[in-house]
Amino acid sequence: MDQPKAVILYIEDDIASQRLVQRVLDSHGYKVYVAGEGTLGIALAREHRPNLILMDINLPGMTGKEITTRLRSLPTFSQTPIVALTANTGPGNREQALAAGCTGFLTKPINVLQFPKQVAEYLEGYEETMSDDERSEQLEIYAQKLVNRLEDKVYELQKANQRLRELDKMKSDFIVLVSHELRTPLTLISGYAYLLREKVSNTEDSAMKQMAHIAEGLNMGVDRLSGVIEEIISVSRVASGTLELSLGPVNLPEILEAVTERAHDICQARQLNINVSNFNHLPVIEADGDQLRVALDHIVGNAIKYTPDHGQINIHGKVMGNAIDITISDTGIGIPVEEQRHIFEQFYTLGAIQHHSTSKSAFQGGGLGIGLSVARGIVEAHNGRIWVESEKRDPETLPGSTFHLLVPIKQVKLS
């Protein structure tokens, strides 16, 4: 193909106008790119550096005048001819297009015979003019219009945001409702499974022994399912801000004993050592003991998941001002610095989803990406803070991670 005479960008949403202009200019040796709206138009302009831009004024989203003003603010296009091409010939339109930064103003539908000549003139440097007084008067009107449009947009965004919040609440309510619906029959199944296990255990009969084995499996499955449902309920409560604390005096050593007790079998199987230190002399704090235990269960559960066998987990407590700083450090794979803020977000996991394993206790075993968001929700509901320190993630050198839970001794906001 011969070298085009010039490159032209036409920003226009009407397909018929696009085709006509493209056909006419093509046949006169121009290369024409077309964009149906402003953001695409600006992107195409940046990519192809056109010698001239034809601009429809009434466009969806940004108007042609706004696109022109934006293009003029970019050094690459400060001198590029931008010609308004519009059917809107009412009073003041031409002047406003020029005030917004257009070089010229042509009307639609185009005159097929004259159009190529008009385009050539603009390419050669022709510019429409207006007096300084008129320009500043038009600029003032244009600026006022822009402010009005901005105000309308802010209002629209506020409404859309409000709607999104409502939808988000509906989603959380739905999850809580479904989880409760699942929990009710599961309690029943769990009860029957327990009864079955009780009935068939301690028997010498071989058929019954097999039954006992099946009942054991059933109980384990039901427990896992209940655990997932409880996690989903807690995450929805945290997300919707409906987590209710039942405050009272909390003895931290007792809570830590419960946490380590729950982790005992897994740690034994994986040869992980948990060491709890310095809790006995700490003051009794005002908190919701059950919720704090849930938060610690998640953090300790993660320390187990992300530390290879034979690793070490240390849980330490100390008074820091008017709060207790509980640290949980592990000798695991660590967390990249740039991810450390994000891991506390809902459903955020670092492992690739295809490597998701259903075992919660195996090294790098699977999770739903909700443990840390629940822990954060609980700690923040106590007016506390949670954060992590880790040098990097490296499954070879195992830099480890240290989670801090800073919980006020009395329920006041930490300074």
Interacting residues toward ligand ADP by CB under 6 A: 298, 302-303, 306, 330, 332-333, 335, 343, 348-351, 367-373, 401
Nearer to ligand ADP, 311 or 408 (CB): 311
Q: Within its chain, how far is the Cα of 402 from the centroid?
A: 25
Q: How far is the CB of 220 from ligand ADP (least distance, A)?
A: 20
Q: State the Cα–Cα distance between residues 291 and 294, nearest whole angstrom.
A: 5
Question: Which residue is nearest to ligand ADP, using beta carbons?
Answer: 367
Q: How far is the CB of 235 from ligand ADP (least distance, A)?
A: 9
Q: How far is the CB of 337 from ligand ADP (least distance, A)?
A: 12
Given a contact cutoff of 8 angstroms between Cβ atoms, the answer to whether 235 and 209 are in contact is no
Nearer to ligand ADP, 55 or 335 (CB): 335
Q: State the Cα–Cα distance between residues 270 and 308, nearest whole angstrom.
A: 8
Task: Please name the residue ranges forming H helices in 241-323.
Answer: 252-270, 289-305
Nearer to ligand ADP, 34 or 388 (CB): 388
Give SS3 for 325: strand
Paired with 57 in beta bridges are none
Q: How far is the CB of 293 from ligand ADP (least distance, A)?
A: 16
Q: State the Cα–Cα distance between residues 254 and 148, nearest whole angstrom.
A: 62
Nearer to ligand ADP, 38 or 367 (CB): 367
DSSP β-ladder status, 52-55 and 7-11: parallel
Nearer to ligand ADP, 289 or 371 (CB): 371
Q: How far is the CB of 357 from ligand ADP (least distance, A)?
A: 11
- With CA atoms as reference, report the closest residue to 227 among 381, 380, 363, 360: 360
Paired with 106 in beta bridges are 85
Nearer to ligand ADP, 54 or 406 (CB): 406
Q: How far is the CB of 345 from ligand ADP (least distance, A)?
A: 8
